[in-house]
Structure 1
Amino acid sequence: MRRLLNKIRKNSRSQEDGIFFEKISKILGFQPKELKYYQKAFTHRSANKVDENGNPFNYERLEFLGDAMLGSVIAAHLYNEVPSGDEGYLTKMRSKIVSREHLNELGRDFNLLQFVDSKVNSSQFGENIHGNLFEAFIGAIYLDKGFSYCEKFIQNKIIKQYVDIAKLEGKVISYKSLIIEWCQKEKTPFAFDFIEDNGQEGQKYFSVKLSIDNKIIAKARATSKKKAEEKVAQRAYFVFQEKITKK
């Protein structure tokens, strides 16, 4: 009976691996050599898995590796495509391409969440899970096929389809940073002032007001200080947009 159960489990696992192999191959545009790297790229910490040596594993180490691969390939692309760009320009453009918002968009477009092995319901994941999985996926490609394949994938699947330098030049990735840089450039005092706001929703909120030159310019509230700062800075940006964007 035990042999029969083990055989059923093995066949079931082989079938799952076959389906996973087909889906991953379709996204990659080539067949992976080592499926284990891609399985690891979608293993959430909550799965509590360990390798053959007893070391716990999940996608987080691959996420680190994928981030490095993306950064290097995109840096080289920008260096070659924009010969007039100085270090500051190239750094800003790379930041826009690998911003959390953009990586989340890529993860969603590739529908990587479907592969996650987790004991946590997907509804409990934060928005950044999409970008984290995408970086881990890139790390898996590097380990499986090497740098040249990884570079080719990033060029064909990401840069050619998602990177428009002209559009990215005008894209704002942080309104807070933009407002702070502008105020410092104009030597104008500014301040983000917070109050904890429990409201009527039963959830803690943060209310913030942004003062520029000792005048309250905008107010906002959100579930975290970071989100509230970004929201209030965006509102302030639209108040001063003409002055900020003036050449």
Structure 2
Amino acid sequence: MSFIRNIFKNSRSEDDGNFFLHLEVILGFKPKSKTLYQKAFTHRSMNLRDNKGDPINYERLEFVGDAMLSAVIAAYLYEQVPHGDEGYLTKMRSKVVSREHLNELGKELKLIDIVKSRIPKSNFGNNIHGNLFESLVGAIYLDRGYKTCERFIFDRVITPHVDIETLEGKVISYKSLLIEWCQKEKNTFDFEVYEDTGKDEFKHFSVRLSINDKVVSKARATSKKKAEEKASKRAFFAFQKEITKHL
């Protein structure tokens, strides 16, 4: 651990004060293991390794944080919705810990401001915000234990953002919703995806969504998945009355 501490001391000596000042405002308490939180905000591009040759970055803490968020949210929903079956509870938990929502939480706390990276922050994708939020939760659990981690999740996630009625009406994936409707109504559907040859700086993909052999929406984005989701969202609003009536 002293080896890791020395690495961070050398790489962050000028920024330590601001880093921990920002961190304590977010946490609401002083960390016991400063090294753990420094690791939680170290991107893999730093190429740091400990004396065993193991990488020093936030990815393993992200794994722990993901598990803790799922556990705390699951227990909360179990208590709050006694009538909900396993499928319902799973769907509701997915809405709380969706990548979109975690990204919003990371942005709200401005976690990207304190990440250590060799990559310019402007080059990061949107998911960096949610990844950092998960790694922070993982660090809290390993530093202070379950109760403190649970309290942080309640303060930052459940109390300000989790409302059962609102969650019930929240759509995570328009594509999944549309496919479910098509299957129930025995409608055929097809996502025709092709690489966009536009003049954008980054490669784009375009998609044509057809239902019953008729093109109902088009979209383009920087990945096939995003393009399909955008096209599905447009189709959903075109058929909203029919879809919500049968689901």
Give the TM-score taking structure 1 as reference length. 0.91
Q: How much has 1:52 moved relative to structure 2?
A: 3.6
Matched residues, number:
239
Q: Which runs of 5+ in 1 are unaligned?
A: 1-9
Find the residue that maps to 1:236 and give its secondary structure. helix
Q: How much has 1:112 moved relative to structure 2?
A: 0.6
Determine the C-alpha separation between the residues in 2 that align with 1:78 and 1:131.
21
Which amino acid counterpart does residue 220 of structure 1 have in structure 2?
A
Moved more, 47-56 or 33-42: 47-56
Q: How much has 1:50 moved relative to structure 2?
A: 1.4
Q: How much has 1:187 moved relative to structure 2?
A: 1.6
1:210 corresponding residue in structure 2: 209
Which amino acid counterpart does residue 48 of structure 1 have in structure 2?
N
Change (3 A) 1:12 1:48: closer
Q: Deviations over 1:205-231 (max 9, x none)?
A: 222111112221111222211111011
Determine the C-alpha separation between the residues in 2 that align with 1:59 and 1:44.
6
Q: How much has 1:120 moved relative to structure 2?
A: 0.9
Which amino acid counterpart does residue 99 of structure 1 have in structure 2?
S
Q: Deviations over 1:16-64 (max 9, x none)?
A: 4343333212211111111111100000001111124332210000001
Indicate the structure (1 or 2) with the bigger Cα radius of gyration.
Answer: 1
Moved more, 207-216 or 121-130: 207-216
- The answer to whether the aligner puts 1:51 opposite 2:40 as a matched pair is no
Identity of aligned residues (%): 64
Determine the C-alpha separation between the residues in 2 that align with 1:11 and 1:121.
20
Determine the C-alpha separation between the residues in 1 that align with 2:124 and 2:28.
28
Q: Deviations over 1:133-184 (max 9, x none)?
A: 0000000001100111111111122100111121111111111011001111
Change (3 A) 1:11 1:208: closer
Determine the C-alpha separation between the residues in 1 that align with 2:175 and 2:194.
18
Determine the C-alpha separation between the residues in 2 that align with 1:162 and 1:201.
36
Q: How much has 1:200 moved relative to structure 2?
A: 3.7
Q: Give me the CA root mean square deviation.
A: 1.9
Determine the C-alpha separation between the residues in 2 that align with 1:170 and 1:93.
10
1:4 corresponding residue in structure 2: none
- The answer to whether the aligner puts 1:102 opposite 2:101 as a matched pair is yes
1:164 corresponding residue in structure 2: 163
Moved more, 100-109 or 23-32: 23-32
Which amino acid counterpart does residue 165 of structure 1 have in structure 2?
I
2:144 corresponding residue in structure 1: 145
Find the residue that maps to 1:54 and give its secondary structure. coil
Which amino acid counterpart does residue 198 of structure 2 have in structure 1?
G
- The answer to whether the aligner puts 1:229 opposite 2:235 as a matched pair is no
Change (3 A) 1:12 1:189: closer
Determine the C-alpha separation between the residues in 2 that align with 1:61 and 1:237.
37
- The answer to whether the aligner puts 1:75 opposite 2:74 as a matched pair is yes
Which amino acid counterpart does residue 157 of structure 1 have in structure 2?
R
1:155 corresponding residue in structure 2: 154
Determine the C-alpha separation between the residues in 2 that align with 1:177 and 1:51.
43
Q: Which runs of 5+ in 2 are unaligned?
A: 1-8
Provide runs of 4+ in structure 1 moved above 4 Å.
Answer: 10-15
Change (3 A) 1:22 1:235: same
Moved more, 196-205 or 38-47: 196-205
Determine the C-alpha separation between the residues in 2 that align with 1:202 and 1:139.
36
1:5 corresponding residue in structure 2: none
Moved more, 73-82 or 194-203: 194-203
1:125 corresponding residue in structure 2: 124
